[in-house]
């Protein structure tokens, strides 16, 4: 007598096609409240430093899912008066992102795959200001946006008003293509660079896919003085991208 299929095997049969599984995964993420979701291969992030690659956390990883969630514009546009309100906005957004990542990982686990949610913010390596995996580079690889001069990810519809979280999985998912066009206005704008009180953004090299080096020490020291070590937001406020529908 043949054993009945497990629920996981039934699901894996149902979503055998890579494009179909990717579509179902995206639909799940969006129905849970995400603003944006994109997919890339784990290989696309293998140039990250050792210890920060998808396969360092899930050796058989095949795909990376980037999930984006909008932040409230009003809390940013009224800075610095609203720094407490922006901190609440920041913390709640990170909490919701972590929940979205966990739910997505569980969705894929129920289908019989391994899946791991990477924290949206803390805990991370505070000595190097380095997360386990770069959510920003995952977002660019999945086509959700590109780096701006502010070293944040600018998205076509929402500018810098989006935070991201990442899920790594052994599921084979059809990847999205990175954006071809630049979103940042680049050197002809420089508003974010001029807005930084400690000139942490000054760097002559810029790459929309890789970002540019910023002075993290200066940035962190100012944030500590500004809001107790959590948020600043002044470079987001300065960015003109997606500001035409302010406030939101």
DSSP state of 3: P
Tokens of 185: 């206005």
pLDDT tens digits for the chain (248 residues)?
A: 445 445 455 455 555 577 899 999 999 999 999 999 999 999 999 998 888 899 999 999 999 999 999 999 999 999 999 989 999 999 999 999 999 999 999 999 999 999 999 999 865 555 656 678 999 999 999 999 999 988 899 999 999 999 999 999 999 999 999 999 889 998 889 999 999 988 888 765 677 777 766 777 788 788 777 766 678 899 999 999 987 644 43
pLDDT in tens, 167-220: 999 999 999 999 998 899 988 899 999 999 888 887 656 777 777 667 777 887
What is the rounded CA–CA span in Å between residue 196 and residue 32?
Answer: 35
Angle at 174 between CA 144 and CA 133, to 5 degrees: 50
User: How much is the pLDDT for 187?
Assistant: 84
Q: Which of 199, 100, 189, 94 is nearest to 148 (CA)?
A: 189
Pairing of strands 153-154, 36-41: unpaired
Gyration radius of the chain's alpha carbons: 19
For the entire predicted model, the pTM comes to 0.87
On whether the CB atoms of residues 144 and 172 are closer than 8 A, the answer is no
Beta strands in 49-93 (DSSP E): 63-70
């Amino acid at each position: 007598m043949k054993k009945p299929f497990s629920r996981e095997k039934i699901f894996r049969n149902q979503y055998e096609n890579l494009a179909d599984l990717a579509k179902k995964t995206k639909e799940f993420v969006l129905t849970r409240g995400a603003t944006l979701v994109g997919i890339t291969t784990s290989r696309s992030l293998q140039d990250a430093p050792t210890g920060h690659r998808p396969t360092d956390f899930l050796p058989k990883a095949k795909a990376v899912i980037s999930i984006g969630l909008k932040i409230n514009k009003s809390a940013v546009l009224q800075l610095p008066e609203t720094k407490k309100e922006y901190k609440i906005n920041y913390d709640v957004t990170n909490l919701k992102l972590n929940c979205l990542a966990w739910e997505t990982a569980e969705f894929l686990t129920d289908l019989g795959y391994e899946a791991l949610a990477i924290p949206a913010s803390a805990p991370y390596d505070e000595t190097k200001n380095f997360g386990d995996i770069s959510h920003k580079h995952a977002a660019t690889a999945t086509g959700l946006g590109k780096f701006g001069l502010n070293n944040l990810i600018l998205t076509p519809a929402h500018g810098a008003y989006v935070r991201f979280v990442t899920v790594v999985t052994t599921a084979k998912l059809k990847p999205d293509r990175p954006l071809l066009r630049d979103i940042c206005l680049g050197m002809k704008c420089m508003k974010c660079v001029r807005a930084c009180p400690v000139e942490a953004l000054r760097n002559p090299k810029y790459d929309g896919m890789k970002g540019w080096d910023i002075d993290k020490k200066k940035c962190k020291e100012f944030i500590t003085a500004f809001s107790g070590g959590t948020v600043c937001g002044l470079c987001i406020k300065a960015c003109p991208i997606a500001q035409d529908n302010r406030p939101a």
